[in-house]
């Protein structure tokens, strides 16, 4: 009964246009009223506890690092470097988009920021070269959602906080699956590009490639610093976020000299606004999470899935189908905040590794960002690329299929996640 009431209140309020953060809070209050234990102090205490978490301090700094990266010229140089090495191939600008997306993903954990940066640079170039605008935008959107899987990842940060799991282990476990997503996009684009009749870019001489590699080397050092620091215990994920922001600021202002006081102020302002949205969601979702625990919704859902608990593979597939469907109507962070406290006790009972589950779960949430009608990355690319939502949906279809196949392969063969994760320990 409580599970049904929670879902009805949450979806009803969202359909009425209430912001998701407040819909989560009111759904939690609805559960309080159901059991006759409404207490405003409990609501406030849980909301404060939801935001009062040291690990969540990493969120604003990773967001700020992404802003400094885009405004300071790191993104632009990564694109130029990738273009020099693979831009001359058939469909070369598509490969540039994929490799640049993977590199940007290792600098910033935000799919929206990476997609916007890539699209602003590459979509006009691809349109001018004769590429199908819908396909170009679809590829850009699919490449952008690699960001929440390859560390540093804001998605892993939030999941780790809610699930009380090691952020470092989640980061390291996401490396190989993120690279696999990039590989799947390369294969999908190679198939799609055969039908594209476009102008080829001239081959860049090695002397110029080395110059661009040197210029982009400063950007390439950031993921090395972050992964190396986490792997060898030099700093925590929260400290890594501060290092990333400081490094991006230094490179953009001192090395590339593209960050001015005005752009720094704009980056700070944009980061503050984005952070406020994320932390408000985290705070008010804690009210719902607390009541989910009190009313034993996890136990109720577990009862529905009890018949699957002896079949971990079928259980994982059933959960991922639910998350995929939710991704069509909910944004990334709300899905993480709503489903993590519900699913985690069930997967532990079924002896599924929580780190492995977290990687697949976050990948699925990322895929939801390019599924209509709500897909936020799809909306961003539609706006920047100047194509309709229907065209963007058509353009992303083959790449969405490729990413779903990767996720399905990871579900069938957990060792693809768990074994590489052990290498990094």
Q: What is the DSSP string of 139-162?
A: HHHHHHTTTTTSSS-HHHHHHHHH
What is the predicted pLDDT for the residue at 397?
92
pLDDT higher than threshold 90 for residue 35: no
pLDDT in tens, 361-386: 999 999 988 988 767 788 788 888 88
pLDDT higher than threshold 90 for residue 67: no
**Distance between alpha carbon 181 and the CA centroid of its chain, in Å?**
12
pLDDT higher than threshold 80 for residue 51: no
Is the residue at 62 inside a domain? yes
pLDDT higher than threshold 90 for residue 59: no
Is the residue at 33 inside a domain? no
How many percent of the chain have pLDDT more than 90? 16
* Average pLDDT in the chain: 83
pLDDT higher than threshold 70 for residue 425: no
Is the residue at 384 inside a domain? yes
- Domain count of the fold of the chain: 1
Handedness of CA 25, 30, 33, 35 (dihedral sign): negative
Q: Which domain holds residue 326?
A: 55-278+298-423
Q: Which residue, 25, 37, 31, 43, is CA-closest to 5?
A: 31
pLDDT higher than threshold 80 for residue 178: yes
What is the predicted pLDDT for the residue at 367?
93
pLDDT higher than threshold 80 for residue 151: yes
pTM of the model: 0.81
pLDDT higher than threshold 80 for residue 243: yes
Instruction: Please say whether the beta carbons of 126 and 83 come within 8 A.
Output: no
Ranking 66-70, 108-112, 298-302, 351-355 by mean pLDDT, the lowest is 298-302
Query: Which is more confident, 139 or 53?
Result: 139
pLDDT higher than threshold 60 for residue 424: no
Instruction: Please say whether the beta carbons of 394 and 387 come within 8 A.
Output: no
Long-range contacts, stretch 300-306, CB < 8 angstroms, 24+ apart: 300/2, 300/3, 301/3, 301/342, 301/343, 301/346, 302/345, 302/346, 302/349, 305/346
Is the residue at 285 inside a domain? no
pLDDT category at 199 given cuts 50, 70, 90 is: low
Distance from C-alpha of 391 to C-alpha of 407, rounded to nearest angstrom:
25
Distance from C-alpha of 303 to C-alpha of 201, rounded to nearest angstrom:
58
Ranking 75-84, 94-103, 346-355 by mean pLDDT, the lowest is 75-84
pLDDT higher than threshold 90 for residue 359: yes
Average pLDDT of span 321-337? 82
Average pLDDT of span 123-133? 81
What is the predicted pLDDT for the residue at 320?
92
Is the residue at 40 inside a domain? no
Number of Cα atoms under 13 Å in the Cβ half of residue 65: 31
pLDDT in tens, 152-161: 888 898 899 8
Distance from C-alpha of 399 to C-alpha of 265, rounded to nearest angstrom:
37
What is the predicted pLDDT for the residue at 217?
80
Is the residue at 211 inside a domain? yes
Query: Which is more confident, 97 or 356?
Result: 356
Other C-beta atoms closer than 10 Å to the C-beta of 13 total 19
Distance from C-alpha of 146 to C-alpha of 366, rounded to nearest angstrom:
8
Is the residue at 265 inside a domain? yes
Is the residue at 27 inside a domain? no
What is the predicted pLDDT for the residue at 186?
93
What is the predicted pLDDT for the residue at 298?
62
pLDDT higher than threshold 90 for residue 202: no
């Amino acid at each position: 009964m409580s599970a049904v009431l929670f879902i009805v209140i949450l979806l009803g309020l969202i359909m009425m246009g209430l912001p998701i953060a407040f819909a989560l809070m009111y759904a939690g209050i609805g559960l309080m009223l159901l059991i006759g234990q409404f207490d405003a102090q409990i609501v406030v205490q849980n909301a404060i506890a939801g935001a009062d978490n040291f690990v969540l301090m990493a969120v604003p700094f990773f967001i700020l690092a992404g802003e400094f990266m885009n405004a300071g010229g790191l993104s632009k140089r990564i694109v130029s470097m990738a273009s020099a090495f693979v831009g001359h191939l058939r469909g070369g600008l598509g490969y540039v988009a994929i490799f640049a997306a993977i590199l940007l993903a290792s600098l910033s954990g935000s799919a929206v920021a990476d997609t916007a940066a890539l699209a602003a640079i590459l979509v006009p170039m691809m349109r001018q070269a004769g590429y199908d605008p819908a396909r170009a935008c679809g590829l850009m959107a699919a490449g952008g959602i690699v960001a929440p899987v390859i560390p540093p990842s804001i998605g892993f940060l939030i999941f780790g906080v809610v699930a009380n799991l090691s952020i470092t282990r989640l980061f390291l476990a996401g490396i190989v699956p993120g690279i696999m997503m990039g590989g799947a996009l390369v294969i999908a684009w190679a198939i799609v590009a055969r039908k594209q009749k476009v102008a080829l870019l001239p081959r860049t001489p090695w002397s110029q490639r080395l110059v661009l590699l040197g210029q982009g080397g400063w950007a390439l050092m950031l993921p090395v610093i972050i992964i190396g620091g986490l792997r060898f215990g030099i700093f925590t994920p929260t400290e890594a976020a501060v290092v990333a922001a400081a490094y991006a600021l230094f490179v953009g202002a001192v090395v590339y000299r593209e960050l001015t006081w005005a752009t720094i102020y704009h980056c700070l302002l944009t980061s503050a606004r984005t952070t406020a949205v994320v932390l408000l969601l985290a705070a008010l979702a804690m009210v719902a999470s607390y009541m989910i625990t009190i009313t034993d919704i996890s136990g109720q859902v577990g009862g529905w899935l009890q018949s699957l608990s002896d079949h971990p593979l079928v259980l994982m597939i059933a959960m991922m189908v639910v998350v995929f469907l939710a991704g069509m109507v909910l944004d990334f962070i709300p899905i993480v905040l709503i489903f993590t406290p519900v699913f985690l006790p069930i997967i532990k009972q079924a002896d599924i590794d929580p780190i492995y589950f977290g990687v697949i779960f976050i990948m699925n949430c990322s895929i939801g960002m390019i599924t209509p009608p709500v897909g936020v990355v799809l909306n961003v690319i539609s706006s920047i690329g100047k194509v309709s939502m229907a065209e963007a949906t058509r353009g992303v279809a083959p790449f969405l299929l490729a990413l779903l196949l990767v996720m399905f392969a990871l579900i069938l063969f957990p060792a693809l996640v768990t074994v590489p994760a052990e290498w990094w320990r």
